[in-house]
Structure 1
Amino acid sequence: MKLKEGLTNEDKKMMRSVFWRSWTMNISRTGATQYHAVGVMYTLMPVINRFYKTKEEKADALVRHTTWFNATMHINNFIMGLVAAMERQNSEEESFDDSSITAVKASLMGPLSGIGDAFFWGILRVIAAGIGISIASTGSAMGAIVFLALYNIPAFIIHYYALYSGYSVGETFIQRMYQSGGMQILTKASSLLGLMMMGSMTASNVKFKTILEVGVKGSEEVMMIQDYLDQLFVGLVPLIVTLLAFWLLRKKVNVNVVMFGIMFLGIILGLLGVC
């Protein structure tokens, strides 16, 4: 709540409007050169309408935000808050270089997306899904509810306060973060933790157990193929399947082809009595 202490009632009203509009950013895709640009302009309209008085000034501001924009949802609001603060400064200072607004947007997309993708897609979603799947596997419908709650509640809160923090810190944030080395540390730590969670999720949820058995000549005993696979490497086949899927995706094979291919392979192996 300290983020709001220095804001006037008009500021708070404007930021609330920006917040609710910001949910439309990731659903407005208009081509490679204007990715999410329409959503960005719609999100910033309360800022532009408040700080610029003439039609020419408003038009210039809108044209400025027709550039390509793409950052992780929930954390991209930090950029919107920062841009709102810079638009305000631009409207108040004649000497302000408005090209710096576009430059800051472009420079923040990559670093913040590196943190946001690792945290939201690689950590928060995986943890929420793991807990939800565990509950759902017992037959409880609460699994889906728990998953949605564990993911969306933190995401909503971060999406909200990222906007206010961006507006509060102003344009010097990126300089301070890079000078202190904090951006590199956060990006590296989030990436490592995300990879660990993805590995744990793969080991827990990709399953393959063959029921093939081989008879021993002159004996009634049989050899279970799965026992020998486990002796070589526990989870060897699931690991191979996972790596094969990643390899196919890197070769630009459509994800639906990979998904249905694995599904059909499982059905065929099941009908043949392999697993």
Structure 2
Amino acid sequence: MENKELNTQDTVMTPDVYKKTFWRTFPLQACFCFERMQNVGFAYMMVPALKKLYTDKKDISDALKRHLAIFNTTPAVVSFIAGASIAMEEKFKKAKDNGEEVDEESINAVKTALMGPLAGIGDSFFWGTFRIIGAGIGTSLAAKGSILGAILFLLIYNIPHFLVRYYGLKMGYKSGVGFLASMNEGGVVAVLTEAAKVLGLLVVGSMCASMVSISTPFVFHLNGTKIVLQEIFDGIIKGFLPLGFTFIIYTLLEKGMKSTTLLWGILILGIVCSFFGIL
């Protein structure tokens, strides 16, 4: 992929810097810490542009220190913020060279303003939608022994992931702050986020019905009439037992029970119920 529109002499974002910055977005969380979160990864990502922009080592050092402030967002959308930050560093450098008064903290202020809204969008789409859809389709195929399950999971998640990372850098550099502000004012961000949540919930719901298999073999005889308990449950709603079990697990998670404890509990419960012929 080439960026001919950025290949000019009066911009720091040359094709070489663009490619280096793009690839450096991937190890964003390699040095994650709970004090400043993704700050080291973000500073590392900014190095190619800063080296191109500044010739003096002290200026590069000062710029890197600026980008070591606390930072945290969804990794898939970080390139958008990186592009906006590079554009601001470029404007900052030109203003400083012209002898104008500049505010160094404005760059971090913009980063802080962008990382929250973009994290909301990124989490909704990538963690809550693409990953869930990919897992739903992938696991259903993998359960049948098909290698396509793993392949489709990776493709469904990573195709939009790579495209957003790559073109987000260009979009952020050219119109980052103004673009997000216009989307917020028009309510586009809220609509997209809500749509992603609804789609994710639909996929999770369908996975509960198709992937959770629970039935009971209980049969009662009442006054000579054969009553099959499973048929009663199916008459109430198809997949009544899987749905009820899912809600029980969700409630226990909401109350703070650990997922590992629940997994062991489900395993033991399944063995016991199978042994006694309950399920």
Regarding TM over 0.5, the answer is: yes
Q: Structure 1 unaligned runs (5+)? A: none
Deviation at 1:20, TM superposition (A): 0.9
- Write the letter of the residue equivalent to 2:263: M
Tell me whether 1:174 sits opposite 2:180 in the alignment. yes
> Of the candidates 8, 18, 22, which is equivalent to residue 21 of structure 2?
18
CA distance in 1, matches of 2:206, 2:95: 52
> Of the candidates 25, 28, 32, which is equivalent to residue 31 of structure 2?
28
Aligned 1:1-275 pairs, distance under 5 A:
4-8=4-8, 11-31=14-34, 33-94=35-96, 95-217=101-223, 219=224, 221-275=225-279
After superposition, what is the alpha-carbon deviation per residue over 1:70-106, rounded to whole angstroms, capped at 9, x for unaligned?
2122122211111121122112213343322212222
CA RMSD of aligned residues (A): 2.3
Q: 1:179 to 1:153 in 2, by over 3 A?
A: closer
Deviation at 1:135, TM superposition (A): 2.5
SS in 1 for 2:146: coil
- Write the letter of the residue equivalent to 1:241: F
After superposition, what is the alpha-carbon deviation per residue over 1:245-265, rounded to whole angstroms, capped at 9, x for unaligned?
222222332222222322322
Q: 1:196 to 1:104 in 2, by over 3 A?
A: farther
Alpha carbons 1:81, 1:163 under 8 Å: kept: yes
CA distance in 2, matches of 1:263, 1:104: 49
Deviation at 1:2, TM superposition (A): 9.3
SS in 2 for 1:223: strand
- Write the letter of the residue equivalent to 2:153: F
State the 4+ residue runs in structure 1 displaced beyond 4 angstroms.
1-4
After superposition, what is the alpha-carbon deviation per residue over 1:186-228, rounded to whole angstroms, capped at 9, x for unaligned?
22222222222222222322221112222335x2x53221111
CA distance in 2, matches of 1:209, 1:4: 60
Q: 1:265 to 1:70 in 2, by over 3 A?
A: farther
- Write the letter of the residue equivalent to 2:21: V
After superposition, what is the alpha-carbon deviation per residue over 1:124-167, rounded to whole angstroms, capped at 9, x for unaligned?
12222222233323322222222222222232222211122111
SS in 2 for 1:164: helix
- For normalisation by structure 2, the TM-score amounts to 0.87
- Write the letter of the residue equivalent to 1:105: K
CA distance in 2, matches of 1:115, 1:153: 17
Q: 1:4 to 1:254 in 2, by over 3 A?
A: farther
CA distance in 1, matches of 2:130, 2:39: 27
Deviation at 1:3, TM superposition (A): 6.1
Q: 1:86 to 1:114 in 2, by over 3 A?
A: same
Alpha carbons 1:203, 1:235 under 8 Å: kept: yes
Alpha carbons 1:75, 1:159 under 8 Å: kept: yes
Indicate the larger mover: 58-67 or 19-28. Answer: 58-67
Q: 1:28 to 1:271 in 2, by over 3 A?
A: farther
CA distance in 1, matches of 2:50, 2:73: 21
After superposition, what is the alpha-carbon deviation per residue over 1:5-48, rounded to whole angstroms, capped at 9, x for unaligned?
143386111111111111101232112x2111111111111122
- For normalisation by structure 1, the TM-score amounts to 0.88
- Write the letter of the residue equivalent to 2:136: G
